[in-house]
Amino acid sequence: MILSLLPSAAHGGIGGGFQYLTTLIVNRRVAVDAGALGVYGTPKEQAEIRHVFLTHTHLDHVATLPIFVENIFLSDPSPVCIHGSTPVFDCLQKDIFNNRIWPDFIALSQKPESPFLRMVPHEPGQTAEVEGLKITAISLNHVVPTVGYIIDDGKSAVGYVSDTAATDEIWDRLNQCPNLKAVLIEVTFPNDHQWLADISKHLTPANFKDEVAKLKKPVPILALHVKARFNKQVVKEVLALQLPQVEFMEFNKVYEF
C-alpha cells in the first residue's frame, strides 16, 4: 500500500511545512478527506482519484471537495464516489452543495447528463471494498460525528485515527488486526492549550502519549494534524516523549507499507 499526505500551503511558498488542511492519498486512486484534494496537482492527477472517504465535515477535511468535484467532472465516464456517514452527507447537502456555497452537485447527479458524483453511504462499523482495499470506518470521539479508518489491502493494514479526543474502539480493532503495519494519528494543540483541546475534542502531546500507549503492536506511528500556529511547540513536546515508534508524517513523502 502506498500512502502520502498532501501538502496544503500554496506551492513552494513559505509555510510549505505547515499542515492547514488534511488529505491522504492511497495508491493514487483513493483519497481520505478532501481538505487539500482540489488544489493538488493537475486536473488529470486529481481525476485518478475515484473514491473519496470523509472522516467528518470540518472544513480542514472537506474544504476543497467542491473544487475537486468540479475539476474532474467528465474526465471519466463514471462519477467519483464520495463515501461518508449519514451526518456527513446531511451536512454536505445542507451546508455545501446547497446552490449558495456551491451548485447542488448531488441533485445534478440525478440527471444522466450531469453525473458529478455518486454518494455511497458508509456508516461506522461498515467495510467498503474499493480498488483492492477494504476500508472500515470506526467511530471516534470528536465534536461532530467522526470516523477513523482501517485500510487493508490484504497484505498490509494501516489505521488512521483522525480528529479525536481519547477513544478506545479503534485501538481495540487495531490491536486485533493481524497485518497492521502503521498507525496515523492526530496531535493538534500543545500541552498548555489543554483547555482548547478539551472543548474541541483533540489531542495534546500528553493525551497523544496516553492514546498511543493503547496500541499493543510495535508498528510505526505517524503523527499529523498539528495546528500550524503551534507547530514548533507541539513537535518539541511530542519528541520530548521519546517514543521510538513515533515520527511526524511528511508531506508528499511516499510511504510504502
Return residues touching Zn ion (CB under 5 A).
58, 60, 163
Closest to Zn ion by CB, 83 vs 202, is 202
- For 44, 55, 119, the CA distances from 96, given in Å and listed in that order, are 24, 16, 14
| String of DSSP letters for 166-192 | S--HHHHHHHT-TTEEEEEEE--S-GG
Q: Closest separation between CB of residue 189 and Zn ion, Å?
A: 11
Place of cell 456555497: 101
Closest to Zn ion by CB, 130 vs 235, is 235
- For 70, 111, 221, the CA distances from 107, given in Å and listed in that order, are 14, 8, 41
Closest to Zn ion by CB, 157 vs 203, is 203
| String of DSSP letters for 223-253 | EE---GGGHHHHHHHHHTT--TTEEEPPBT-
Q: Closest separation between CB of residue 253 and Zn ion, Å?
A: 20
Q: Closest separation between CB of residue 58 and Zn ion, Å?
A: 3
Q: Closest separation between CB of residue 222 and Zn ion, Å?
A: 16
Closest to Zn ion by CB, 122 vs 201, is 201
CB–CB of 53/32 below 8 Å?
yes
- For 27, 214, 226, 237, the CA distances from 218, given in Å and listed in that order, are 24, 11, 23, 21
Q: Closest separation between CB of residue 234 and Zn ion, Å?
A: 14
Closest to Zn ion by CB, 60 vs 152, is 60
- What grid cell was written down for 239? 519528541
Q: Closest separation between CB of residue 107 and Zn ion, Å?
A: 27
Closest to Zn ion by CB, 153 vs 163, is 163
How do beta strands 30-32 and 51-53 pair? parallel
